[in-house]
Amino acid sequence: MKISERFRLGVTQHEIDFVDIDTSRDTPLFLDPFFLSVRSDAWSIGASRTIRNFFETFVRAAREGNRAQARALFNHLHEPNETCLGTSKGNPSGRAIGQENADRLFESVLQSRAIDTGIVEDLEDFRLFITGIDKDKVSDMTTNIIRLHLMDYTKNQCNLWNIQLKPNVPSDFYWDASSRSWDNTYSEALIIDGRKILLTPKSVVSFVKRYTPQKYYNTFVLEFLRHEHLAMGSALVQYRKSGEPYITKKSLKERVAPYSKEYLASFTIANPDVFRDFRDWARANSRSLGNSELAEEDLAAIANYLSAQLREIPPGPADAKRYHRLCASILELLLYPQLISPTVETEINKGRKRIDIMFDNAAGSGFFHRVHTANSLPAQFIFVECKNYTNQIANPEIDQLIGRFSVNHGKVGLMLFRKSDDIETLLTRCSDAYLANQGLVVPIGDSDIHALLRGVGSGEQEVVEDFFARRYRNIAVRGR
């Protein structure tokens, strides 16, 4: 049974930020440290720094001949099953480095030329060059290392969806970057059927189809070798009837470059530029999975349902929390994967101020990317205030949201409200604040949300980008 079903959340994968796992079996998705390393959102940056810290500590010990320390670092890379990700059959059990094969894999890592020569630059390179380590094992190693990040994420999502946590649960080991050592603690945890569960952001999982040894070998190594042998006119060159020379990949595999991770390591030592090209290609082609890739769901039906739910919620403080959570669902549907990792009633300024909803900005293009890069507005986080009342949105409400802004956290916010009898005056107030360099407040009423949901439900994905571009233009140029 999926998380959303078990806790009767009444939502689909399109409306929640985490992978809606079935806790009775593994979902064939993976945590990919390479993908984490190329992302720009705060959660991914923090997790990636922890992974790199672990990797640097391990490699330093290995290269300095501190075998005992290096081996000890493998002791806590056991078989995690809290995320229910991977390819295990039956109940989730993980396929990571268990005690029975840890010694063998440790020896494989230490004996690899890839470690001594430095071509292994990050944890993800293990699966390219180290025999016995594949995407399952790297994913599970990553889970162990960033367990604390996943714990915090799980607690935030459970708070958002009002899922009860159990106090004082042993965390299991996680990597502590500050002490460069494994640590554990007691913490609140999500417990299902007596088992601890960790939720994973859907924006950071992948099928691991790009950064793989097979992709590197077939697309980059063999192509490089083909051009090399054509240029020197080797015995592998054949000729078409037209006289055009060619070399088959089959002949290269059989006579020059038989596939193995040892060969990939040797080739990379001799040709580091090819490996850099591969990494650049993988980085440029990495993206979050779409909701439709994660679950087969009727987007039009979901959009219509959310519109109906919005109409059913009456304005007023009694339904404020219900309105807030519905807004989180709607924004998740409309703005993923640009905005991710929502948290509710987030405390800032040491608890002196609270934000209804806060998203991490993960946009690599589009409005939420441009607003920072082209318009020079800090936007690491996007703040959201939800006003479930019939009063007009005036300066006090705008000032309240602006009061949450800072250079370090961001100066972009969304003001969700039920309706306005004078949208032009509201836009003018937002423009006054923007032109005074106080930050950007984008007002979004119920009528806007209904229009956006209709567009997205009809397959018009550009409708969201067009809305924010027009609204920003109305605010930025008003009065000039």
- Give the pLDDT confidence score for residue 157 in this predicted structure: 96
- Give the pLDDT confidence score for residue 92 in this predicted structure: 56
- Mean pLDDT score of the chain, rounded to an integer? 91
Tokens of 202: 């859907």
Higher model confidence: residue 75 or residue 307? 307
Per mean pLDDT, which range of 74-83, 215-224, 417-426, 439-448 is the poorest?
A: 74-83
Stretch 225-243: mean pLDDT, rounded? 93
Q: Which residue in this structure is represented by tokens 């404020």?
A: 320
With beta carbons less than 8 A apart as the criterion, state whether 174 and 110 touch.
no
- Give the pLDDT confidence score for residue 194 in this predicted structure: 94
User: In the beta sheet, which residues pair with residue 175?
Assistant: 182
User: In the beta sheet, which residues pair with residue 381?
Assistant: 360
User: In the beta sheet, which residues pair with residue 445?
Assistant: 417
Tokens of 114: 């890839």
Q: Tens digits of per-residue pLDDT, 150-176? A: 999 999 999 999 999 999 999 999 999
pLDDT of 95 above 50: no
With beta carbons less than 8 A apart as the criterion, state whether 419 and 448 touch.
no
Angle of CA points 355, 358, 363, to nearest 5°: 155
Please tell me the pTM assigned to this model: 0.91
Q: How far apart (Å, rounded) are the C-alpha atoms in residues 141 and 33?
A: 10
- Give the pLDDT confidence score for residue 101 in this predicted structure: 61
Tokens of 457: 């439900």
Kindly report the three-state secondary structure assignment for every residue of the chain: CEHHHHCCCCCCHHHCCECCCECCCCECCEECHHHHHCCCCHHHHHHHHHHHHHHHHHHHHHHCCCHHHHHHHCCCCCCCCCCCECCCCCCCCCCCCCHHHHHHHHHHHHHCHHHHHCCCCCHHHHHHHCCCCCHHHHHHHHHHHCHHHHHHHHHHHHHHCCCCCEEEEECCCEEECCCCEEECCEEEEEEECCEEECCCEHHHEECCCCCCHHHHHHHHHHHHHHHHHHHHCCCCCEECCCCCEECCHHHHHHHCCCCCHHHHHHHHHHCHHHHHHHHHHHHHCCCCCCHHHHCCCCHHHHHHHHHHHHHHCCCCHHHHHHHHHHHHHHHHHHHCCCEEEEEEEEEECCCCEEEEEEEEECCCCCHHHHHHHCCCCCCCEEEEEEECCCCCCCHHHHHHHHCCCECCCECEEEEEECCCCCHHHHHHHHHHHHHCCCCEEEEEEHHHHHHHHHHHHCCCCHHHHHHHHHHHHHHHCCCC
With beta carbons less than 8 A apart as the criterion, state whether 46 and 366 touch.
no
336, amino acid identity: Y
Residues with Cβ within 8 Å of 458's Cβ and at least 6 positions away in sequence, in order, are 300
| CA-derived radius of gyration, the chain | 26
- Give the pLDDT confidence score for residue 283 in this predicted structure: 94
Domains and CATH numbers, the chain: 3-206 (no CATH), 213-284 (no CATH), 298-476 (3.40.91.50)
User: In the beta sheet, which residues pair with residue 31?
Assistant: 205
Q: Tens digits of per-residue pLDDT, 316-374? A: 999 998 999 999 999 999 999 999 999 986 554 444 446 689 999 999 999 999 998 88
Q: How far apart (Å, rounded) are the C-alpha atoms in residues 315 and 302?
A: 22
CA 469 to chain centre: 25
- Give the pLDDT confidence score for residue 354 in this predicted structure: 60
Helices 299-312, 446-457: inter-axial angle, 10-degree rounding: 160
266, amino acid identity: S
| Cis peptide bond N-terminal to 272, omega within 30 | no
Q: How far apart (Å, rounded) are the C-alpha atoms in residues 34 and 36?
A: 5
pLDDT of 146 above 50: yes
- Give the pLDDT confidence score for residue 400 in this predicted structure: 92
- Give the pLDDT confidence score for residue 289 in this predicted structure: 94
With beta carbons less than 8 A apart as the criterion, state whether 78 and 141 touch.
no
**Paired sense of beta strands 412-417 and 440-445, if any:** parallel
Stretch 387-405: mean pLDDT, rounded? 90
With beta carbons less than 8 A apart as the criterion, state whether 342 and 17 touch.
yes
